[in-house]
Amino acid sequence: MARITNVIHITFRGYDKMKGWVYGDLTHAQGVGKDGKLYPRIMVAGYEVDQKSVGIATGVLANNGKEIYTGDIIKVTHKELQSQVVMKVVWRHNAIMVVDGKDPHDCYEDAFCKELYENFDIEIIGNEYNKNISL
Mean pLDDT of 50-79: 90
Mean pLDDT of 86-112: 68
Which amino acid makes up residue 48? E
The answer to whether the beta carbons of residues 60 and 100 sit under 8 Å apart is no
Question: pLDDT tens for residues 6-34?
Answer: 556 789 999 998 999 999 999 999 988 89
> CA–CA separation, 100 vs 3, rounded Å?
21
pLDDT at 72: 93
pLDDT at 107: 43
Give the closest residue to 121 by CA, choosing from 84, 91, 67, 77: 77
Report pTM.
0.78
Domain range list for the chain: 3-127
The answer to whether the beta carbons of residues 21 and 55 sit under 8 Å apart is no
Model confidence at 49, pLDDT cuts 50, 70, 90, reads very high
